[in-house]
Amino acid sequence: MKSALGMIQNPTAARDGTSAIRKELLFALESARTRLAIAIAEETKLTPRDRWQFYLDTTDHVRRFIGKLRKWDADEPPQYEEWAYALVALRQLPIQGSALRLCEALLSIVNELE
């Protein structure tokens, strides 16, 4: 992965690097959202109403953020550090786990990016 400083010094590299890291982040967020949906589906019958609402609110929040990231304007300053930290955190999410833990972790990551 290119360093943020190197991208800032070379505008072409900055555009290419921003595009690459943004695409990686989008893919990682979509993958995490899918894992969360599966975990929620596995717990559906056992989930209390308030927790179910928390799950729905979180998945909606993540979906809206993904939409904003897709529409990200290349003229806006990229958030290299935040995006890099988010990618690391998303890659560390368990492949399987409780919906509540995945929900809390994903919400925390998205909140840091906003």
Q: Does the reported pTM lie above 0.75?
A: no
pLDDT digits (tens, 9 = 90+) for 29-51: 999 999 998 888 888 777 788 88
Which region, left, alpha or beta, applies to residue 34 given φ > 0 means left and ψ of -120 to 50 means alpha?
alpha
pLDDT at 3: 41
pLDDT at 70: 86
Low-confidence ranges of the chain (pLDDT < 50): 1-15
> What are the sequence ranges of the domains in the chain?
4-113
pLDDT at 17: 58
pLDDT at 74: 66
pLDDT at 30: 94
